[in-house]
Amino acid sequence: MLVARLLLAAIFVVAGVGKLARRDRTEATLAKFGVGAALRRPLAIALPLAELAIALGLLPAATAPWAGLGAFLLLAAFTVGVARVLRSGEEVECNCFGALAPSHVSRWTLARNVALMALAGFVAVAGWSEPGPGALAWIGDLDATAAVGILAGLALLAAAVNLAFSWQLMKQNGRLVAELAAVAADGPGASGGGAPRGLPVGELTPGFALPTLDGDVVELDELLDDGRGLILFFSDPGCGACEPLLAEVARLQRDPLADPRPVVISLGEPAAVAAKAAQHELGPVLLLDDFERARALGINGFPGALVLDREGRVAGEPAVGSTAVAPLLAASAEPLRLVQVGGSG
């Protein structure tokens, strides 16, 4: 019984800590599971806290049956959600254990949950009659040497977990550091005075085809089909300066009179982009796999924006920074004045 409780507690600790370390991806997963926008953020915090509370409750013999019951119910809810996703055929990141074990929802996820449900059910049912010793009861019998050894082992375990999370964080942020270095190279000290370089005003924008968060591919011509101009709004989930603008971007995307209308083109991990899109109810959101396409249009930082007229021609100089992008969004409810350059229209 004690072994079952400790195993279940360890699994719930790893799951809880992993979800807390990647709350943005937890929110994205909840969105894919059909959780409403208003509940995603609080659930992304409450869910891992509940897992940690269950893990703690599994240690004392007195609370182990109740914690086992809580684990069973939580796993049952997870299992129902996993079954629904598998039935829909949609590919969803599990984020069950955060950065320690990134994976997609699969039949293995369902089988694993069923096995853990059986383990939790055993702890809950058997615990009422014979819960076994408390998981911490043996600590009082340890001598000083054993206690020091155990503390040292726990410290090493904590260091290993921290190293795993740090490694994942460095992998995710390495790209951002590279982009910041590239932006600095194009800053005021660079040739050209730091002004964004891109296509001349009035020139047709080269066509592109970019994936959406749903896995579809959207071309520039499709975005122009409704007869309105576009604001190509370039962003990144880690962009703090973008945050104050996203609510207005989302409002304008829903406004049928907004002309030009903003289309979000985001760099970053798809799950992090999805979490940000769900938080602000953005759509459409296109995914950018590198910064070169944005740089070719004169965007050398975030937030960035480029206005296109109804024919896909560049309608103004590229804007970089919140103070430059905000006026473009404020003017987008007005009809777009097509730019005439050298008699072309």
| Continuous segment of H or E residues that includes residue 320 | strand 319-320
pLDDT of res. 157: 55
* 230 inside domain: yes
pLDDT of res. 179: 46
* 186 inside domain: no
* 178 inside domain: no
Contact partners, residue 49, CB within 8 Å, separation at least 6 = 16, 20
pLDDT of res. 139: 52
Q: Are 6 and 116 members of one domain?
A: yes
Under 8 Å between Cβ of 250 and 232 = no
pLDDT at 345 exceeding the cut of 50: no
pLDDT of res. 216: 87
How confident is the model over 5-33, as a mean pLDDT? 80
Average pLDDT, the chain: 77
Angstrom distance (rounded) from CA 305 to CA 284: 15
* 344 inside domain: no
* Closest-CA residue to 233 (of 171, 195, 280, 200): 280
Q: Are 130 and 200 members of one domain?
A: no
Q: For the domain that residue 292 is a member of, what is the CATH number?
A: 3.40.30.10
Under 8 Å between Cβ of 298 and 200 = no
Residue at a domain's end among 100, 115, 141: 141
Give me the number of domains the chain comprises. 2
Q: Are 309 and 219 members of one domain?
A: yes
In this predicted model, which residue has the larger pLDDT, 327 or 344?
327
Long-range contacts of 30-38 (CB under 8 A, 24+ apart): 31/274, 31/275, 31/278, 32/85, 32/90, 32/92, 32/93, 32/274, 33/81, 33/84, 33/85, 33/92, 34/81, 34/84, 37/278, 37/279, 37/281
Q: Are 313 and 211 members of one domain?
A: yes
Residue 303, both tokens: 């937030």
pLDDT at 248 exceeding the cut of 80: yes
* Closest-CA residue to 47 (of 99, 95, 105, 117): 95
How confident is the model over 160-180, as a mean pLDDT? 50
pLDDT at 320 exceeding the cut of 60: yes
Please state the separation of Cα 319 from the chain's center in Å: 26
How confident is the model over 315-323, as a mean pLDDT? 91
pLDDT at 215 exceeding the cut of 90: no
pLDDT confidence bin for 33, thresholds 50/70/90 = confident
Q: Are 201 and 325 members of one domain?
A: yes
pLDDT at 191 exceeding the cut of 50: no
Q: Are 7 and 136 members of one domain?
A: yes
Which tens digit of pLDDT belongs to each residue from 58-89?
888 888 889 889 999 999 988 888 888 788 76
pLDDT of res. 183: 45
Number of C-beta neighbours around residue 37 at 10 A = 13
Q: Which residues pair with 231 in a beta bridge?
A: 262, 307
Angle between helices 64-88 and 37-57 (to 10 degrees): 140
Contact partners, residue 202, CB within 8 Å, separation at least 6 = 313, 314, 339, 340, 341, 342, 344
What domain range includes position 226? 196-330
pLDDT confidence bin for 340, thresholds 50/70/90 = very low
Q: Are 205 and 291 members of one domain?
A: yes
Angstrom distance (rounded) from CA 91 to CA 85: 8
Percent of the chain with pLDDT over 90: 24
Angstrom distance (rounded) from CA 312 to CA 305: 14
pLDDT of res. 84: 83
Weakest-pLDDT range from 2-6, 154-158, 184-188: 184-188
Q: Which residues of 311-326 are buried (b: 16+ CB within 10 A; e: fewer)?
A: ebbbbbebbbebebbb
Q: Are 42 and 105 members of one domain?
A: yes
Angstrom distance (rounded) from CA 97 to CA 85: 18
Q: Are 113 and 238 members of one domain?
A: no
pLDDT of res. 160: 57
* 264 inside domain: yes
pLDDT confidence bin for 310, thresholds 50/70/90 = very high
* 55 inside domain: yes
* 13 inside domain: yes
Q: Are 14 and 125 members of one domain?
A: yes
DSSP 98: G
Q: What is the pTM of this model?
A: 0.47
303 preceded by a cis bond (ω within 30 of 0): yes
Q: Which residues of 49-60 are buried (b: 16+ CB within 10 A; e: fewer)?
A: ebbbebbebbbb
pLDDT at 197 exceeding the cut of 90: no
Q: Are 214 and 115 members of one domain?
A: no
* 304 inside domain: yes
Weakest-pLDDT range from 83-87, 142-146, 239-243: 142-146
pLDDT of res. 263: 95
Q: Are 97 and 207 members of one domain?
A: no
